Amino acid sequence: MPPHAGGTLTYGGYLRLDELLACQTPLTDAHDELLFVVIHQVYELWFAQILHEAALLQRRLEDGDSTGALHTARRIAKILKTIVGQLDVLETMTPRQFASFRPELGSSSGFQSHQFRELEAVLGRRGFARDVLDERLRAATTRRSVFDSLLRYLAGTGLAVPPDALDRDPAQPWRPRADVRAVLATAYADERNPAAEVCEALVDIDEGVQEWRYRHVKMVERIIGSRTGTGGSSGADYLRSTLFRPAFPELWEVRGA
């Protein structure tokens, strides 16, 4: 039923605040558990928004809409800056404060975030373990990635993107190609070209994701040190292994061309 059915729409009704604020249900009486819950729920809301924006970004790229693609890519980059900033709040929690409720988390872990895995797929990651391939993630790994959409955008501007790069099977992982780097170098040759700006906006997104990964590693080290993470993960060691893996490697490599 719509929140305004049978009456005037209110702020609380529009935002469904009664339902939203009923979702914070800590498992202990520890003061800091509420902060932990709120931070992670807000992350998931932002991940949902990034996925929403990424779908629009791909449509705008494939429609050849430079202005729209720039606007959307910049919004995604700003959201990534915001979620990095949230770690400043989480880092006010000391190791002892986290330990006061950590045993109750059981096997739950941030590694189980379906939306973050879907975001990784949208940015081009493939090869997920079968046990995490739910319906949405499976669909995301068979659609074109953001980089695939960028190549279509560049082809639409008249750049000679190799046809087999445009028509490749998007379910396969992207393999860096010298001929695609050459196309990107041409796009960057004129910095006044909208294509160069669009490429830079995607670099901002890539850098934002990498920055979030780095800050996440340092937050985990700060709160649990080298101990095993919740859910049985290797904690900070695993997170460190995910660093410096760009989603769009050619956009970084072309800088040395």
Q: What is the DSSP letter of 173?
A: P
**Sequence-ordered list of residues with C-beta below 8 angstroms from that of 58, at least 6 positions apart, any chain:** 144, 146, 149
- pTM (2 d.p.): 0.91
Per-residue pLDDT of the chain (257 residues; tens, 9 = 90+): 566 666 799 999 999 999 999 999 999 999 999 999 999 999 999 999 999 999 999 999 999 999 999 999 999 999 999 999 999 999 999 999 999 999 999 888 777 899 999 999 999 999 998 888 999 999 999 999 999 999 999 999 999 999 999 999 999 999 999 999 999 999 999 878 899 999 999 999 999 999 999 998 888 888 877 655 555 555 566 667 777 789 999 999 998 76
Q: How far, rounded to the nearest angstrom, does the alpha carbon of residue 102 sit from its chain's CA centroid?
A: 26
Q: Which residues contact 60 (CB under 8 A, 6 or more apart)?
A: 68, 69, 72
Rounded to whole angstroms, the Cα distance separating 85 from 204 reads 16
DSSP per position, 184-230: HHHHHTSTTSHHHHHHHHHHHHHHHHHHHHHHHHHHHHHHHTTSPPG
Q: What is the CATH architecture assignment of 29-256?
A: Up-down Bundle (1.20)
Return the domain boundaries, the chain: 29-256
